[in-house]
Amino acid sequence: MSHKDRRSFLMPHRRPKQDQIRLTGQLAIEQPAMLQRVAALEAARAAAPPNSGLTPYSGPWTRTETIHLLRRCLFGATAADVHYFSALTLDQAVDQLLDTTYTPPAPPVNDYNGADVTDPDIAFGDTWIDAFYNIDVEGYRIESLRGWWLRRMMTSERNIREKMVLFWHNHIPVLFAEVFSGVLLYRYQNTLRENALGNFKDLTRAITIDPAMLFFLNGNANSVFAPDENYAREIQELFVIGKDLPQHYTEDDVKAAARLLTGWRIGTDFNTYFDPNQHDKQDKQFSSFYGNRLIKGKAGVAGGATELDEFLDMLFDHPEAARFVCRKLYRFFVYHNIDAQTEQNVIEPLAQIFRDNNYDIVPVLSALLKSEHFFDQLNRGAVIKSPIDQVVGFYRQMGVTFPGAADLTDTLYLSYVTNFVLAEMLQTPGDPPNVAGWQAYYQQPVYDKLWINSSTLPRRGQINEFLVFVGLYGANNVAKADVLAFTESLNNPGDPDLMLAEVHELLLGLPVASSVVNYHKAVLLSNLPSAYYWTLAWEAYLANPTDPIIRGEVENRLKILYHVIIQTEEYQLA
């Protein structure tokens, strides 16, 4: 079987070919109306911009605020999460979310041995993270890793780390299908996870010489004899400086950086080393954008590392570095549009905190998440969920779980199906369209609206419907929405009014009109006028949870109710 064939079962749409075409076609129809709307809103916001800034929020700290915070920092907010965080003060809640204590998760294992493939080097159940490269099994390891990552998100602890891993993966991505080595990709993932709440400058350094990145953006082939500008450009354009300023780095800066970065190689042990013979030892002159900085060429094994440090110092000395990343954090966690007011009241002071803390990430997130701006009414419910946020959030909220160690094969399969579905919604973890990440995080002026088109929106509803009514099937296990457990986790499941209020709060990004509430109540009550009948049925279930008839009576209604609720458009917002 050829190399190509081996890759053929990898997640589809790794390159946005077909879907991209459809998306573009969609935009052609939808864009005029959309742009008008965006323009109107931005005009309205410009007339009455949110004045809020980074002043610590001192308004009410209720369930509503807790849910807003958790939605943005976790994947969905479960009733138990809300209960837990509601008992804390806002400061305590944010500090807990930003807790930097890190226990490395158990690494991915060989869960792919089976009818299709047998890994000659790694036994079923053993980890493959130090395995020899093997073209015949790399694809399986990659899907093993992708599934492992998905499950990290599904079983995330009550902190922001996994959301930040996704943020960094979007910000400094390598594409799984391009790198095509499970071992390298696991190490890349590890770098993101370990540094997710660390120091951005350290992370940038680690990624610059990360073997997966060296392979992905050709650093591995960058030499004094044939400089390759790929990474040298992206680190400036996409990772650290950006092109938001009218004046930015120059083409000569790209060339100088490329020369500076020559010599980094991936060893046969898959670790990075520096080869001084491949390194350009001439001086590197940068433009006035960087204050005409001159970085002296250096020889020897340590030369490349020293030059890299000086280069990173130069990048991070530029005031735009902090602003650029703060804008991306803002778009990811708060709202896509940054107007002049927000730039001045939020981005600039945030960037100052970033610089003052030598690019430590936590102080920035802490200031942002505790700010009155974050809790500004204008920012609530204003994010369209990414597919990962929607699907993983639904799994967490509705208790969709995989068997784990009890059945590795099924766990891999169920993870694969989920990633397959995410691919159809245009967000495959590990395979954004290209090195710029997913368009929804950067494409002006539409941003997160790009997640929604007339092909993806029905699919976003379908997956939830599927999980409620059918379930995902492995050979021996089914992963389903557990509507009963979800309902039991609520504060007042026996009271239709209180129950619906809580469900709406948990699942919907915006409050719904009373007519909608009444409709949902009618669904739960099968059109009966008295709430008492639900209470009775629910209590009967609690008293006889295993009786299939009594259980079916409440389960039927809950399935239909939740199905109806997650079909409302408000469900798409966070």
Partner 1 sequence: MKRRNFLKNITAGVAVPSLIGGFGVKAYANSPFSPLFNALTTDTDHVLVMIQLSGGNDGLNTVVPIDQYAKLAIGRPEVILPEASILPLTGTNKVGLHPALGGLRELYDEGQLRIVQNVGYPNPNLSHFRATDIWMSGSDSDEYLPSGWAGRYLSYEYPNFPNGYPNNDMPHPLAIEIGSAMSMSLMGTQTGMGFVISNPDEFYNLLAGVQSQAPNTPAGEQLAYVRQIAQQSRTYAQTIVNASGTVTQQQTYPETELAAKLKIVARLIAGGLKTRMYVVNIDGFDTHDSQVDPDNHTIGEHANLLQELGDAIRAFTKDLKFLGIDDRVSGMTFSEFGRRIVSNFSGGTDHGEAAPMFLFGKPIAGGITGKNPLIPSNPTEYDNLDMEFDFRSVYGTILRDWFCVPETDVPDILLHDHAYLDLYQSNISCISTATHQANQSAGRSLLDCSPNPFTTNLQIVYRTDGGPTTVQILDASGKVIATPAHGIMGRGEYMVSFSGSSLPAGTYFCRVLNGMQHQTKTVVKVGNN
Scan residues 408-427 and list those touching partner 1 (CB under 8 A). 413, 416-417, 420-421, 424
DSSP 476: S
Note whether 117 binds partner 1 by CB under 8 A. no
Length of the chain: 574
Q: What kind and span of H or E run contains 354? A: helix 348-356
Note whether 245 binds partner 1 by CB under 8 A. no
Note whether 560 binds partner 1 by CB under 8 A. yes
User: Which stretch in 78-86, 182-190, 223-231, 375-383 sits in contact with partner 1 by CB under 8 A?
Assistant: 375-383
Burial of 416 (C-beta count, 10 Å sphere; 0-12/13-18/19+): buried
C-alpha distances (whole Å) from 71 to each of 42, 397, 429 are: 24, 11, 19
Largest Cα–Cα distance of the chain, in whole Å?
84
Residue 61, SS3 per DSSP: coil
Note whether 383 binds partner 1 by CB under 8 A. yes
- C-alpha–C-alpha distance, residues 227 and 252, integer Å: 13
Tokens of 512: 């719904």
Note whether 177 binds partner 1 by CB under 8 A. no
Note whether 552 binds partner 1 by CB under 8 A. yes
The minimum distance between CB 545 and partner 1, in angstroms, equals 14
User: Which stretch in 56-64, 185-193, 242-250, 374-382 sits in contact with partner 1 by CB under 8 A?
Assistant: 374-382
Asked if 505 and 63 touch (Cβ cutoff 8 Å), the reply is yes
User: Which stretch in 125-133, 241-249, 301-309, 563-571 sits in contact with partner 1 by CB under 8 A?
Assistant: 563-571
Nearer to partner 1, 172 or 383 (CB): 383
Nearer to partner 1, 306 or 556 (CB): 556
Note whether 484 binds partner 1 by CB under 8 A. no
The minimum distance between CB 483 and partner 1, in angstroms, equals 13
Tokens of 286: 């940068």
Q: What is the dihedral of CA 69, 74, 76, 77, to 10 degrees?
A: -60
Q: Which of 199, 337, 341, 443 binds partner 1 (CB under 8 A)?
A: 337
Note whether 122 binds partner 1 by CB under 8 A. no
Q: Which of 21, 470, 485, 542 binds partner 1 (CB under 8 A)?
A: 470
Note whether 481 binds partner 1 by CB under 8 A. no
The minimum distance between CB 428 and partner 1, in angstroms, equals 12
Note whether 391 binds partner 1 by CB under 8 A. no
- C-alpha–C-alpha distance, residues 306 and 280, integer Å: 13
Note whether 462 binds partner 1 by CB under 8 A. yes
Nearer to partner 1, 34 or 484 (CB): 34
Note whether 338 binds partner 1 by CB under 8 A. no
C-alpha distances (whole Å) from 484 to each of 264, 548, 562 are: 55, 13, 11
User: Which stretch in 152-160, 231-239, 389-397, 564-572 sits in contact with partner 1 by CB under 8 A?
Assistant: 564-572
The minimum distance between CB 552 and partner 1, in angstroms, equals 4
Q: Which of 134, 357, 459, 501 binds partner 1 (CB under 8 A)?
A: 459
The minimum distance between CB 202 and partner 1, in angstroms, equals 34
Torsion region of 358: left, alpha or beta (phi above 0 gives left; psi -120 to 50 gives alpha): left
Note whether 43 binds partner 1 by CB under 8 A. no
The minimum distance between CB 59 and partner 1, in angstroms, equals 17
Note whether 49 binds partner 1 by CB under 8 A. no
DSSP 115: S
Note whether 497 binds partner 1 by CB under 8 A. no
- C-alpha–C-alpha distance, residues 512 and 228, integer Å: 54
* Nearest of 147, 189, 130, 146 to residue 165 by alpha carbon: 189
Q: Which amino acid is at 155?
A: T
Nearer to partner 1, 26 or 218 (CB): 26
User: Which stretch in 51-59, 286-294, 465-473, 488-496 sits in contact with partner 1 by CB under 8 A?
Assistant: 465-473
What are residue 285's DSSP bridge partners? 294
Note whether 258 binds partner 1 by CB under 8 A. no
Nearer to partner 1, 287 or 337 (CB): 337
The minimum distance between CB 456 and partner 1, in angstroms, equals 9
Q: Hey, CA dihedral for 93, 97, 101, 103, is it positive or negative?
A: positive
Give the footprint of partner 1 on residues 517-546 (CB under 8 A): 519, 522-530, 533-534, 536-537, 540
DSSP 427: -
Q: Which of 201, 259, 293, 563 binds partner 1 (CB under 8 A)?
A: 563
Burial of 338 (C-beta count, 10 Å sphere; 0-12/13-18/19+): middle
Q: Which of 174, 554, 565, 566 binds partner 1 (CB under 8 A)?
A: 554
Per-residue contact flags (x/-) with partner 1 for residues 9 to 38, judged by CB under 8 A: x--x---------x-------x--xx--xx
Note whether 255 binds partner 1 by CB under 8 A. no
- C-alpha–C-alpha distance, residues 57 and 563, integer Å: 36
Nearer to partner 1, 36 or 306 (CB): 36
DSSP 98: T
Report how far Cα 487 is from the mean position of its chain's Cα atoms.
Answer: 27
Q: Which of 15, 45, 205, 248 binds partner 1 (CB under 8 A)?
A: 45
Tokens of 8: 């053929």
Asked if 255 and 233 touch (Cβ cutoff 8 Å), the reply is no
Q: What kind and span of H or E run contains 295? A: strand 294-295
Asked if 381 and 573 touch (Cβ cutoff 8 Å), the reply is yes
DSSP readout, 124-176? TTSB-TTPPP-HHHHHHHHHHHHHHHHHHHHT--SSSHHHHHHHHHHHS---H
The minimum distance between CB 12 and partner 1, in angstroms, equals 7
Residue 62, SS3 per DSSP: coil
Q: Which of 282, 344, 454, 491 binds partner 1 (CB under 8 A)?
A: 454
Note whether 41 binds partner 1 by CB under 8 A. yes
The minimum distance between CB 556 and partner 1, in angstroms, equals 6
Cis peptide bond prior to 445, omega within 30° of 0:
yes
Nearer to partner 1, 485 or 528 (CB): 528
